Amino acid sequence: MAEAQLYAKVSNKHRARSTSALLEPLLAKGFPAHIAQKALVATGQKTIEDAVKWLHSHCNDPSLDDPIPQEYALYLCPTGRLHSRLQDFWKESKRQCGKNRAHEVFPHITLCDFFTCEDQKVELLYDVLKRVGDSFSQSFPPSISLTLHASPSYLGFFIDDSQANVLKRFAAAFSSEVSALADCHVKPSLKQFHLTLAHRFYPHHQKTLEELAKCINPGEPCQWVAALYSRDMRFVYYQRLRALFQYKPQNIDELMISAGDLIYVDPAQQRDVSEGWVVGTSHRTGCRGFLPENYTERAHEADTWVKHREYVFDTASRSFPKEPNAKLNGEAHNLSTSRSVTNVLSLQNTALRRAVLVMRHGERVDQVFGKSWLQQCLTADGKYYRADLNFPSSLPRQKDSMKLFECDPPLSCCGIFQSRLIGEALLDQEVTVSYVYSSPALRCVQTAQHVLQGLKLNQKVRIRVEPGLFEWTKWEASRAIPNFMTVAELLEASYNIDTSYRAHFPLSSLVPSESYEDYVSRSSAVIKQITSACPSKGKGVILIVGHGSSLPSLTRALVGLPSRDSGDFAQMVRKIPSLGMCFCEEQKEENKWQMVNPPVKTLTHGANAAFDWRNTILEE
């Protein structure tokens, strides 16, 4: 329905041929006029080479002939040292408080909201921007006064009224001329002119964000630029992903991606997609298909925008140096002695005490070979043998039947390797682990053991088995709590278990098919009990090895975030890979925890299917 509305919106527009100097060479190469214009607009009408490259990349784009124009917006953007300080704030606020809505776009003041313009009339926008810019070049403010304003959901600089009025007249003049000449419906921004620093953040982050914002000197040398950007109107409400690695399709419905590619993903279309995969549309090629989610990372909305033209307001000759002052909600703050964001960071780091590293277990054997993996490894008389090199070389001894491993599967050999590799990476980063807690599931205990081996701490730090860390019991296929290996059995199998530890949640307290609310409550209680039980002196890391569900349920409770809806929770957990990690640091002066980047990178690898040489090589 949305696509039909877009087609109806543009189907009755008159299509006049442009005489652009860039268009003629493309027509001479045999490209149809409407497609050539589309390529020029998609690349910002910069060079013929860019347009030709775009056309070749989009040769299989099913929407190439679609008459859907781009959307355009006019922004006033800072450059120079002020821009650098704002980028420092962007980076540090994201590191300390996580991503908020402001991170999606670069620092800017909105002059005109997004509007559509036919491809063949885009050059008129450039002409109007140049003409209106020239007419305001002398009246444009030599400097723009910025006042810092804060609220529980917004942080940013407000523009002085007298200067904002000049900007509003400039925006109105641009809007009026474009509307008349290019037959566009352009609305100049009527709101209080502002430069957003943070938006839609959690209220408990407000104090930290304000402290970082006070380090920005708004009087830093700056040249302001009016810039015209475009975006693809079909994907306004989509998420953006960036490919980290190349992926070559194995099936016809999969998407070819190269490192750095940007992908549009509609969250509403992901519910029926297989675990670990997403369906998206490539920004580079326009093609659509499935791709492995762990080959990507989240990108920003503006990463897919195209910059067309800019008008630089040269105010250097009219500027006079003065002692800059910023104001927070009207209260003056002299910034001549203000600390940089980096200095604030260094001061905050000295206040950091403990840290918590929550980790999902490594690859489990049934993840590779299915729920019937044990049947593949048992002889007629019930003895275990290794049917594939990724099966463990042996299984720990249990006093009861080996059938118990079906509900409490061990790690695969790759899972063991993964765990040890993570431990070695933590050792390389000089991470000091002081305490280790593990879910009673065998795969978690094994992961903890091999991470400690990689850290060379397996003889120094013992594993505390905590049943309260077991995953949401509703997800247990057997609808019953598994019969986990006992501490005595784990010790007999040479696992370094802390026998003096008394669990906060005994096994008997785990209830089959518990409600989501009960699981969230259990997770919140156990993380608080664990952090309370570990001394606050020193800077050791508390390592918690649990399940995919452990990462959001433990860390969100620790940093004070509300729990997610159960449906969203399930969708999020399925995206967490083996050895996925979350890292939280404690702020001593506030006695609060904040989520930051883990000390090591993620572990990504591809699938490796079983190989039958006889049926493959000798097959006729």
Q: How many CB atoms lie within 10 A of CB 191?
A: 7
Token pair recorded at residue 113:
């909201």
Catalytic residue among 108, 242, 547, 556: 547
CA nearest to 405, candidates 368, 442, 370: 442
Do β-strands 222-232 and 277-282 pair in parallel, antiparallel, or remain unpaired? unpaired
Active site residue 547: yes
Active site residue 108: no
Amino acid occupying residue 400:
D
Token pair recorded at residue 181:
């000449």
* Alpha-carbon dihedral sign for residues 253, 67, 237, 83: positive
Q: Does residue 113 sit in helix, strand or coil?
A: strand
Active site residue 361: yes
Phi, psi dihedrals of residue 602, rounded to the nearest 5°: -75, 165
Catalytic residue among 85, 360, 364, 462: 360
Alpha carbon separation from 480 to 398, 508, 513, 576 (Å, rounded): 19, 12, 8, 24
> Could you give the CA distance from residue 324 to residue 236 in angstroms, rounded to a whole number?
38
Amino acid occupying residue 343:
N
CA nearest to 536, candidates 452, 480, 592: 592
Phi, psi dihedrals of residue 588, rounded to the nearest 5°: -65, -45
Alpha carbon separation from 354 to 132, 536, 556, 583, 594 (Å, rounded): 57, 6, 17, 11, 11
> Could you give the CA distance from residue 356 to residue 377 in angstroms, rounded to a whole number?
38
Token pair recorded at residue 380:
């007629």
> Helices (DSSP H) in 259-369: which residue ranges?
341-350, 365-369
Catalytic residue among 361, 420, 443, 462: 361
Phi, psi dihedrals of residue 319, rounded to the nearest 5°: -100, 145
> Could you give the CA distance from residue 309 to residue 125 in angstroms, rounded to a whole number?
9
The residues annotated as belonging to the active site are 360-361, 547
